[in-house]
Amino acid sequence: MSHPFPGLEHLIPADAVVEHLATGTAWGEGPVCLDDGAVLWSDIPGNCVLRWHPQEGQSVAVQPAHFHNGHTRDDAGRLYACSHGERAVLRSDDGGRNWRPIATHHGGQRLNSPNDVIVARDGGVWFSDPPYGLIQPLEGYGGGQEQPGCWVYRLDPDTGAVEAKVRDMVWPNGLAFSPDETTLYVTDTSHTHDPAGHHHIRAYPVAGHGASKNEVGEGRIFAVVDPGMPDGIRIDEHGNLWSSSGGGVQIYSPDGVRLGVVAVPEAIGNLTFSHVEPYLYIAASSSLYRLPVSVKGDRF
């Protein structure tokens, strides 16, 4: 019998099927897995964070959520969220019940609308800051853009300083590090509002040691994703990049070769690997799905 996902035999079991878990979102985003097997994910236009648990099913975790978008966690289990409404990056130390802002400004000006967030092994919090929460009425509270651009930032875990690390993208969105954290992948989804805009993933070298640690070099186009946009991305233990798109999950080798596609019935906002069981969780427009996998995610 042929494999259901050609080219992905080493990444996905031969009997794998895309399983539908929950529904009801207007635009699903930002899934993150918890230690008890639950998944939190955002419904941005619905202004809530939903929870799905294998035994308990679907429930509402936070409402109103001030338009949460991307979520992640760190090695200590603390949760992080990007809030379009609060124009901030938030952290929760109690499993998502209470949130507090940890990044709200850069250069004395309010952030645009933080979109996606990842935490490096040194505790640095990296996040993207496009304008979606300012320009889309159902994804934020509006307001004027105070930053001179849409950048990728790093929040220093020791000083709390917010430093712009990537300034050459139009609307940066999804983020992921290579397993050795020497490459930062960033998606650009400016094509959503401009026919001439981008729908690609860029790769940036990141210095790992000495005085230049966390310095980001000149980027390059890693892959152009079509159909749709490369919104959320994640990296597996072998360095392969798993990207959302309009037609499914597109998977790329570390050198940018597309290995294959996992078809999903809806456009995908974001995805994440479980660290508890061998699954990839997929937040699509109206539903949450999961896919059995044969690899582990490198980070949360």
Are 174 and 230 in contact by the 8 Å Cβ rule? The answer is: yes
- What are the counts of helices (DSSP H) followed by strands (DSSP E) for the chain? 1, 26
* Of the options 2.120.10.30, 3.30.365.10, 3.30.1360.70, 3.40.50.1100, the CATH number for the domain spanning 19-292: 2.120.10.30
Are 164 and 151 in contact by the 8 Å Cβ rule? The answer is: yes
- Residues forming a β-bridge with 204: 184
- What pLDDT, on a 0 to 100 scale, did the predictor assign at position 36? 94
- What pLDDT, on a 0 to 100 scale, did the predictor assign at position 208? 85
- What pLDDT, on a 0 to 100 scale, did the predictor assign at position 1? 62
Q: Which residues, at least 6 apart from 255, have a Cβ–Cβ distance to it below 8 Å?
A: none
Residue with the two structure tokens 């805009």: 197
pTM: 0.97
Residue with the two structure tokens 């929870």: 51
- What pLDDT, on a 0 to 100 scale, did the predictor assign at position 219? 97
Four-point Cα dihedral 153, 154, 155, 159, nearest 10: -120
Are 214 and 197 in contact by the 8 Å Cβ rule? The answer is: no
- What pLDDT, on a 0 to 100 scale, did the predictor assign at position 209? 81
Write down the domain spans for the chain: 19-292
Task: Convert the pLDDT of each residue in 70-80 to its tens digit.
Answer: 999 999 999 99
Q: HSE-up of 53 (CA within 13 Å, CB side)? A: 9
Task: Convert the pLDDT of each residue in 253-295 to its tens digit.
Answer: 999 999 999 999 999 999 999 999 999 999 999 999 999 999 9
Provide block-wise average pLDDT over 10 residues at a time, the chain (300 residues): 89 97 97 96 98 97 97 96 98 95 98 98 97 96 97 97 98 98 97 93 93 93 96 98 96 98 96 96 98 96
CB-count burial class (<10 Å; 0-12, 13-18, 19+) for 214:
middle
Residue with the two structure tokens 């949460």: 68
Are 248 and 209 in contact by the 8 Å Cβ rule? The answer is: no
